[in-house]
Each structure stands twice: as C-alpha cells, then as structure tokens.
Amino acid sequence: MAVIKTEGLTYVYGEGTPFRKVAVDHIDLEIEEGEFVGIIGHTGSGKSTLIQHFNGLLKPTEGSVYIDGEKLWDDKAKLRPIRFKVGLVFQYPEYQLFEETVYKDIAFGPKNMGLDDDEIDRRIKETARMVGLKPEMLEKSPFDLSGGQKRRVAIAGVMAMNPKVLILDEPASGLDPKGRERILSMLKDYHKQTGNTVLLVSHSMEDIAKNAQKILVMNKAKLFCYDETVKVFHRSEELRQMGLSVPQITRVFDRLKAMGIGLDDDVYTVKYAAELVLSMLKRREG
C-alpha cells in the first residue's frame, strides 16, 4: 500500500487576491512504503508546498492527501497522530534548536508523543549513534557545537520520533563536501536500518543520484514525473530545459554515447562509471 497518496492535490496561495498563485496543480501521486525518493525541481516549482501537505501543515485548496491509507483533514483531531508518522526536517533545521542540552533537544519530539522515559532514553541514544554524535556530546549545549553537528542534532530530533516517513528539505545545503557526505551516508544508513520511507529534497543531482531509488520531478507547480532514478536522468534534455541538470558524470557518458561509443546502460554514479569503463576495457582485451 502507498504510504503517501495524493489525488488532484492543488494548493493556491493568496486565493481571492491579486497575488493568487497556484503552487501545486492537480498532483496525483503514490509513494510506496520503504522507498528512498529524491525530490527535484527549480526554485518555485512547488517542492516545499508539496511536502508541507504530507504532514498536514498545509490544507489542500482542492484534492486530497492520504497518509498510510488515512485521509488527512477529514477529522482534524486525527492530524496529530499523522504528524507523528511523517517527520519533516526544514531547511537550516539547526536554527530550530532551543533546549539546554543536546539530549533534551532530541527528547522534545518523543516526549510530545507521550513515550515513557526509558523508551525516550533508548531512542535518543540510538539516534545519536545513528547520526554520529558521541555520547559525551549529549550533555553539551547544542549551541556549542559546529554547524554540521548542530544540523545532525536537529535531524536526530525528528528521527527519534521514528516516523514512517522522513522528509528532509535540502539537509546538506551550506555544508562542505565532507559534511554533505556525512549527512547523506547517515540518511542512507537510517533508511537501510529502519526501512522507513525517506524523501530528500535537493538541488544537487549528484547527491540525489548517489542515494535515491526513485526521483520525483516538480516543474511549474506540476508533477513532471515520478520514476526510477536511471529513467529520470535518462531525460537529461527535458531536465535541462526546466532549469535542472543531470550529474556531471551522466553528461560525460551521454556525450560519449552521442560520439558513437556503444554503452549498454545509462550512467549516473562515478562508481558505476568506473565499473563500466573497466569492463569495456577488459572485454576488448579478452
């Protein structure tokens, strides 16, 4: 069963004013449980508006959203449990830290869920380990940490609620390459270990290529496509026209193909590119 489903989802900002703007336009979508989905789209394409519907922060102007089979907004009292199912990490989440210690900050979400102290403790320790925070850091003030560490604390706070769906809006933006890599490999491990669905919004095609199984492409408030990573990056020309791109390595192999080099497959990661070239060289020798 789809963990997230939308039917004709439409959202209009400033309805009835001269600033009326359709931000998402009749979106029909089904995301299966356990998937790692990359979300891409140009600035203003409707990505952020779309994901805010998934945990009921925005109410559709038209159409509906189902989480885990349950329709949102049918019964307002049901929104709270649904928000625990879908964890949303905003851009620059480190600005939302507020507690005295890292421990208390991560505990905030699980506490609101009404979990008992032992369970909260267990979850904090587990997520801290998952995001690579050493046990001694838990007693520090979150404001004494580096930017990358703060960001990991903020993400841990949402992970500790063990949401069925974890959505992150540009979790690596502004970080250096090592910090980026760290956040992304942490998300990959989280996905593997928990089996939870992960939705990652990013402007970095390279990061999406390395992690996502499927990609959701938004273009001018509409869903352009939702498909497997390799199939989406196959449409490089269309992506380019909508202000997006494909990974650098994909561009290189697209060009080699156009120059007449026979390649069986599309390339979108460096690792795969290396394997492909090596096997071609081997075949030639053999």
The site for another protein (CB under 8 A) is made up of: 41-44, 146-148, 173-181, 203, 205-206, 243-245, 247-249, 251-252, 255-256, 259-261, 270-271, 273-274, 277-278, 280-281
Contact 215, 232 (CB under 8 A): yes
Nearer to another protein, 57 or 261 (CB): 261
- Cα four-point dihedral sign 178, 183, 187, 190: positive
Q: Where are the beta strands (DSSP E) in 139-189?
A: 165-169
The three-point CA angle 189-137-144 to 5° equals 115
Shortest Å distance, C-beta 195 to another protein:
30
Distances (CA, A) of 209 to 3, 94, 180: 23, 25, 14
The three-point CA angle 229-235-236 to 5° equals 100
Nearer to another protein, 1 or 43 (CB): 43
Nearer to another protein, 78 or 203 (CB): 203
Nearer to another protein, 97 or 249 (CB): 249
Shortest Å distance, C-beta 173 to another protein:
6
CA distance 150 to 111: 20
* Residues in the chain, total: 286
Shortest Å distance, C-beta 19 to another protein:
9
Distances (CA, A) of 130 to 171, 182, 267: 16, 11, 30
Shortest Å distance, C-beta 144 to another protein:
10
Shortest Å distance, C-beta 157 to another protein:
21
Residue 138 parent element (H or E): none
Nearer to another protein, 84 or 92 (CB): 92
Shortest Å distance, C-beta 20 to another protein:
13
CA distance 21 to 145: 40
Shortest Å distance, C-beta 145 to another protein:
11
Nearer to another protein, 81 or 147 (CB): 147
Nearer to another protein, 42 or 111 (CB): 42
Q: 3-class DSSP state for residue 174?
A: coil
Q: Which of 241, 240, 239, 247 lies closest to 273, judged by CA?
A: 247
